């Protein structure tokens, strides 16, 4: 059997250079490296956010590789799990993220919020507030539909 070592999110964005700066300000991201075309377009970059690597590039419309837009929203949500969601949420908003959902305590034992970065990608920010067993989580989830 083939062993999988990692799974990396790979984002396509309009203006990868600005996205790298945003991820540094919003999430403490640290650029690992980038490959830049002579004209300035970024073909590949890697940013370390916490222990994870997020890969990204500028759009390549000539190859059908586009980032999300108002007309073409992303279906992917990236989840950053941290010690305390509230300061990270404030940091992301201060850096230019749009609030999708403010920090709220959730039934599954996490305080979480969702923001959209200026490039159209959505990020769920969360911190554990309670250890919840899967059976209890299912009970609470089912109870949401009984209202």
| pTM tops 0.85 | yes
Task: Pull the structure tokens for residue 136.
Answer: 């209890």
Q: Where are the domains of the chain?
A: 10-144
Report the relative pairing of strands 98-105 and 77-81 from DSSP bridges: unpaired
pLDDT band at 1 (very low <50, low <70, confident <90, very high): confident
Cα–Cα separations (whole angstroms), residue 84 to 8, 28, 52, 80, 142: 24, 14, 18, 11, 27
Question: What are the residue ranges of helices labelled H in the chain?
Answer: 16-27, 85-95, 134-144
pLDDT band at 69 (very low <50, low <70, confident <90, very high): confident
10-144 maps to CATH 3.40.50.300: no
């Amino acid at each position: 059997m083939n062993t999988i070592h990692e799974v990396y999110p790979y984002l396509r964005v309009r203006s990868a250079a600005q996205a790298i700066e945003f991820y540094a300000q919003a999430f403490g991201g640290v650029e690992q490296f980038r490959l830049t075309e002579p004209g300035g377009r970024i073909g590949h970059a890697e940013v370390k956010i916490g222990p994870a690597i997020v890969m990204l590039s500028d759009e390549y419309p000539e190859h059908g590789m586009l980032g999300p837009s108002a007309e073409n929203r992303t279906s992917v949500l990236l989840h950053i799990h941290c010690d305390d969601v509230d300061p990270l949420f404030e940091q992301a908003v201060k850096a230019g993220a749009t609030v999708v959902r403010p920090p709220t305590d959730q039934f599954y034992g996490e305080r979480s919020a969702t923001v959209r970065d200026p490039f159209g990608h959505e990020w769920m920010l969360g911190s554990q507030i309670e250890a919840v067993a899967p059976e209890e989580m299912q009970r609470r989830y089912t109870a949401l539909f009984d209202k």
